Amino acid sequence: MSNKLSLPALGEKFPHLEVSTSQGAKVLPEDYNGKWFVLFSHPGDFTPVCTTEFESFAMHEKEFHDLNCELIGLSLDSVEEHKNWISWINENAPAPINYPVIGDESAIEVANTLGMVHSALGNASIRAVFIVDDKGFLRLMMYYPMVIGRNISEIVRSVKALQIFDKEKVLLPADYPNNKWLGDSKALLISPQNEEMQTQYEAAKEAGKINSKADWFWFKDMK
C-alpha cells in the first residue's frame, strides 16, 4: 500500500468509490443520494478501542437516522473478518451493528483515496471520519490517533450543526448548543457585509429578535 497521504477537499464532491462491505457491494456516494452519511475508519477488527467505538456508533444510530444520516465503517480487514467481529459484538454488547463495514481490496482503495493511512503510525487505517451531505459533497473531516476512541456524540452534533447551517444559514458557536459564554442554543450570524445589512441587524436587535456583542458579532436564539 502507498504511504503517500492524499486528502480530498471540503466542499468538493465526494469521490466515486465502488466498495465491498459486510452487507454487499455499494457505490459511494451514489447509493446514498438524498441521504447524509458518515464514513468512519478504524485500525482493526477484534481490538478493544475499535469495539467500543463500533458499539457507541450503534447506540447512537437512531440519532443519526433521525438526521437522515447513514453510517459506514471501514478497516483494512477482510469482509469475512468484519462479519465475524460484528457477530461477536452482537452477541456481547447491548446494541446490534446494523450498518455496513467496507473491507477487502476496496478498503485499500478507499484508504488511499481518502488519506486514511498515516505512515508514521503504522500501516493500519487511522480513526478518520468523513461527513457527506445528501447531495454527495464532503462537509467535514476528523482524524484521531489509534490510541484515542472518538466521541460519537460530537459526530452527531456535527451532522446536526451542518444541517442547521444549510437550513437556517446561521453559524454555530463552540460547543453548540451549550456555549457557556452566549448561553444555550444560540447561533451566530454572518458579520454585516455592508451598511444596509448593518442597519437590518440593528433594527432586528431593536425588535428583540437578535443580539450583539460588537458591530461584527451578532447572534440569536435557536430555541
pLDDT in tens, the chain (223 residues): 444 556 789 999 999 999 999 999 999 999 999 999 999 999 999 999 999 999 999 999 999 999 999 999 999 999 999 999 999 999 999 999 999 999 999 999 999 999 888 877 777 888 999 999 999 999 999 999 889 999 999 999 999 999 999 999 999 999 999 999 999 999 999 999 999 999 999 999 999 999 999 999 999 999 7
Q: Which long-range contacts (CB under 8 A, 24 or more apart) does 48-52 make?
A: 49/146, 49/147, 49/148, 49/149, 50/75, 51/85, 51/89, 51/93, 52/149
pLDDT at 190: 95
Identify the CATH number of the domain in which residue 98 sits.
3.40.30.10
- Domain for residue 68, yes or no? yes
**50 included as an active-site residue:** yes
| Full DSSP string of 51-63 | HHHHHHHHHTHHH
Q: What per-residue confidence (pLDDT) applies to 5?
A: 59
Task: Determine contact, residues 150/127, Cβ cutoff 8 Å.
Answer: yes
- Domain of residue 74 covers 17-150
Kindly state whether residue 217 falls inside one of the protein's structural domains: yes
Q: Note whether 66 and 146 are same-domain residues.
A: yes
Total domains in the chain come to 2
The predicted pLDDT at position 188 comes to 98
Closest CA to 81 of 49, 43, 52: 43
Does residue 191 share a domain with residue 93?
A: no
- One domain, residues 186 and 116: no
Is residue 165 domain-resident? no
> Rounded CA gap, 167 and 194, in Å?
23
Domain contains 209: yes
Catalytic residue among 19, 39, 50, 170: 50
pLDDT score recorded for residue 140: 98
User: Do both 101 and 197 map to the same domain?
Assistant: no
185-218 exposure pattern, b = at least 16 Cβ within 10 A, e = fewer: ebbbbeebeeeeeeeebeebeeeeebbbeeeeeb
**Strand order through the sheet with 211-214:** 186-189, 217-221, 211-214
pTM above 0.85, yes or no: yes
